[in-house]
Amino acid sequence: MDTSPLPMLKAILPKVPLIGKTAISHALGFSEHSQYWDLRTELIINVLRSFINDSPPRPLSQLQRMSLKAPEVKGRIWVSRIMMEKPQEDDVRQKLFKAIEGLREEGDGAAGRGFTEPELRDVEAEWVGYRAGATKASVELRIPDKQKYEEMMKEVESPTTVLYLHGGAYYLMDPATHRPTTKKLAKLTKGRCLSV
């Protein structure tokens, strides 16, 4: 581990004017927080805030790469990956578009569809179940996903199926990042989770 103070100095040096301004405005009582916070608190908050607010935005592809690092399957968990193929029929999609159009009000832009119609795609998902017979150090079995699903279903005691639609605005993360949560849900319900 690098214990050199150089990286910290490089990060703090551009903040010296902010630190000076904060200290002077706090001492003179011009700061809106000076009556509630001591100088140390106000300095820490303002410097941290500047690191967060002044950082350049990252490209979406970089954020996705950072959030898609799937942890290995380890412990008391069954994971069976599946690919749900897109449906051949298009009627539900067309009804959705019609419902969206029905929400438009007079003067909401040009006539016709005011949005891009996304195409249907295959969906990757995972069946997740609690693996009671395993230990915390157990690794994923090297068997086909269909067989993993069958083994998982042997341990399922309840007909409950939880459909888990993960967060991340559906462009960050994936079902693998939510395995601890879906495993806990499967254990509590004695059922299984379909994590999409």
Q: What is the DSSP letter of 82?
A: E
Q: How far apart are CA 116 and CA 124, in angstroms?
A: 23
Residue 170 has pLDDT above 80, yes or no: no
% of the chain beyond a pLDDT of 90: 49
For residue 9, the model assigns a pLDDT of 82
Residue 27 has pLDDT above 60, yes or no: yes
For residue 134, the model assigns a pLDDT of 92
Count of CA atoms in the C-beta half-sphere (13 A) of 27: 6
- Domain ranges in the chain are 6-53, 66-103+120-195
Q: pTM, whole model, 2 decimals? A: 0.63
The count of other CB atoms within 10 Å of the CB of residue 114 is 11
Average predicted confidence (pLDDT) for the chain: 87
Q: Which amino acid is at 185?
A: L
Q: How far apart are CA 28 and CA 104, in angstroms?
A: 54
Residue 172 has pLDDT above 90, yes or no: no
Among left, alpha and beta (phi > 0; psi -120 to 50; other), residue 85 is beta
For 54-79, what is the mean pLDDT? 83
Residue 111 has pLDDT above 70, yes or no: no
For residue 110, the model assigns a pLDDT of 59
